Chain A
Amino acid sequence: MTSPFSVEGLNVSYGGRPALTDVSWAASPGLTAILGPNGAGKSTLLKAALGLIPSDSGQARFFGEGLDQARSRVAYLPQRASVDWDFPASALDVVAMARLPHMRWWGSVPRAERETARAALNSVGLAELAERQIGRLSGGQQQRVFLARALAQKADLFLMDEPLAAVDAVTEQTILAVLHKLVDEGKTVLMVHHDLSLITAHFDHVLILARQVVAAGLVAEAFTDASIAAAFGGLPGRA
């Protein structure tokens, strides 16, 4: 079976400093946590695969195809802090942006796309806050708006950058429930994550990074004390 997401020989550097070195990995369907210390290249992996930052070499495949062929099957959830939440838009406005590839570019959002966006907001428990300006939402609610936007893309593969970072308990439970539902529907979710406590209870697979692949596979096999120590004990060249 073709992997929903794979990278081969991926090398990325920032201003000459290596961020990822020769990363080759193929994801399996289900829920995967991408783990590693700060600076391990977790977000970089997602961004480079999506072409948001340049790679020095290597390539990413989505369902065996290049990104341009598979784009409609791929959803991306950036870090919450990467945008200005004072932006003049409602929660519904933001979620409806997911439907842009299926819309004309002028005028207002068509009713059908608006309903898709509303349903996505409903599934993250924000139906009543659809019309609220995003700056007036709590951090956890903003994170759920981002999740709703990714859901509204109706994708088969979800690349999520720290959706559980600094969220309240309600949001954490809502997000985990949504992710499990996606997995039950046969989708693939790759999630950059930093909290080791949730891994065994909620995730199927892990990819442990420290600028290169430290361990990868089923949680029971790869999420070991040894691999965690290898990744978090010290980055290569830093000791």
Chain B
Amino acid sequence: MIGHNTLIVLLGCAALGAASGVVGAFALLRGRALVADAIGHAALPGVVAASLIVAAFGGPARSLAPLLLGAALSGWLGLLALRALTASGRIRQDAAIGVVLSAFYALGTVGLSIAQAMPNAAQAGLSHFILGQAATLTESDAMLAGGLALACIGVVAVLFQPLRALCFDEAFARSQGLPVRWLDLVLLALLLAVCVAGLPAVGLLLVVALLIVPAAAARLVTQGLPAMLALAAALGAAAGAAGALISTRFENVPTGAAVVLAGLVGFGAAVAWSRR
């Protein structure tokens, strides 16, 4: 039997997977998929800092919202650092992602060891942010993550046509007077939102896989973008739910790993199907 809390967590992870599939599809087509990896790792110092601040002010020991806010802020700082590094054109994006990702993750790891040496227990669940642990999510945590994910899908739906035009042909979109800069910013904000919403369940190391794997699988077997988005959302939702289910049944399996392995089953099927 699935309990009420488990069901909510499953639904939250499914919503998260669906949003990851949709946002990841656009990130993939815009050549930004690995930016999600940088965001995920860059979020760690923010999570640690937020937990220390909450503890210092005697706030509730186990409250997700401030941690996610901290994650979003330091994830955004990571994006700014990425942009500063690549602005001159002398450092390529892949190199810049490597630098930002490792720098922020190292900073976060140092912060984590400091936090864990502190007497209070506020930092107890922080390590779950690295590999993800859906089983520890409360009902309201899952609803927060799921709600954020659904909001991301809504934004993509409203901006579907211009986002598609931008991803296909940036120069043409610019020549038409589309707000290209603004659309790119929205796309980055969506990536950030999905990454942050996914941190507690999937963990920062593997959140990038939830963005890339369903989208890459869907691209292999579809001809049009609406079909690709629908399939990526379905694969993401299935992987999210399956991963959450596995990790609530077997407490030692981190959710992130379970989600990614479930997603890879879909990816393998897509590769096989596309080679028919």
Instruction: Find chain A residues with CB under 8 A from B227 CB.
Output: 88
Q: How far is the CA of A153 from the CA of B162 in the complex (A)?
A: 15
Question: Would you call B171 and A88 a contact (CB within 8 A)?
Answer: no
Residue on A nearest B169 in the bound complex, by CB? A83
Minimum CB–CB distance for A164 against chain B, Å: 19
Contact of B160 among A101, A107, A149 (CB under 8 A): A107
Interface presence of B178 (CB below 8 A): yes
Q: How far is the CA of A71 from the CA of B226 in the complex (A)?
A: 29
Interface presence of B174 (CB below 8 A): yes
Residue on B nearest A77 in the bound complex, by CB? B172
Minimum CB–CB distance for A108 against chain B, Å: 8
Interface presence of A47 (CB below 8 A): yes
Minimum CB–CB distance for B276 against chain A, Å: 16
Q: How far is the CA of A215 from the CA of B223 in the complex (A)?
A: 47
Given known A88-B219, A89-B225, contact A51–B174 (CB-CB < 8 A)? yes
Instruction: Find chain B residues with CB under 8 A from A97 CB.
Output: 164-165, 168-169, 172-173
- A residues 99-116 near B (Cβ < 8 Å) are 100-101, 103-109
Contact of B224 among A52, A89, A101 (CB under 8 A): A89
Question: Would you call B157 and A106 a contact (CB within 8 A)?
Answer: yes
Question: Would you call A105 and B158 a contact (CB within 8 A)?
Answer: yes
Interface residue count for B (Cβ, 8 Å)?
Answer: 29
- Taken residue by residue from 143 to 162, chain B's Cβ proximity to chain A (1 for < 8 Å, 0 otherwise) reads as 00000000000000111111
Interface residue count for A (Cβ, 8 Å)?
Answer: 33
Q: How far is the CA of A15 from the CA of B154 in the complex (A)?
A: 41
Residue on A nearest B157 in the bound complex, by CB? A106
Interface presence of A93 (CB below 8 A): yes
Contact of A100 among B161, B219, B228 (CB under 8 A): B161
Question: Would you call B169 and A88 a contact (CB within 8 A)?
Answer: no
Q: How far is the CA of A224 from the CA of B175 in the complex (A)?
A: 33
Interface presence of B177 (CB below 8 A): yes
Contact of B161 among A47, A74, A103 (CB under 8 A): A103
Instruction: Find chain A residues with CB under 8 A from B165 CB.
Output: 97, 100
Question: Would you call B158 and A87 a contact (CB within 8 A)?
Answer: no
Question: Would you call B175 and A74 a contact (CB within 8 A)?
Answer: yes
Minimum CB–CB distance for B27 against chain A, Å: 14
> Apart from A88-B222, A100-B176, A153-B176, what 7 extra A-B contacts exist at CB < 8 Å?
A51-B174, A83-B168, A87-B29, A88-B29, A97-B172, A105-B158, A133-B223
Q: What are the 5 tightest A-B residue pairs by CB atom distance, in nearest-first order? A: A76-B175, A133-B223, A97-B165, A78-B171, A83-B169
Residues in A lying within 8 Å of B, measured CB to CB: 15, 47, 50-52, 68, 71, 74, 76, 78, 82-84, 87-90, 93-94, 97-98, 100-101, 103-109, 133, 149, 153
Listed A/B pairs (28) with beta-carbon separation below 8 Å: A51-B174, A52-B171, A52-B175, A76-B175, A78-B169, A82-B169, A82-B171, A83-B168, A84-B168, A88-B29, A88-B222, A88-B223, A88-B225, A88-B227, A93-B224, A97-B164, A97-B165, A97-B168, A97-B172, A97-B173, A100-B173, A100-B178, A103-B161, A104-B161, A105-B159, A105-B160, A109-B161, A153-B176
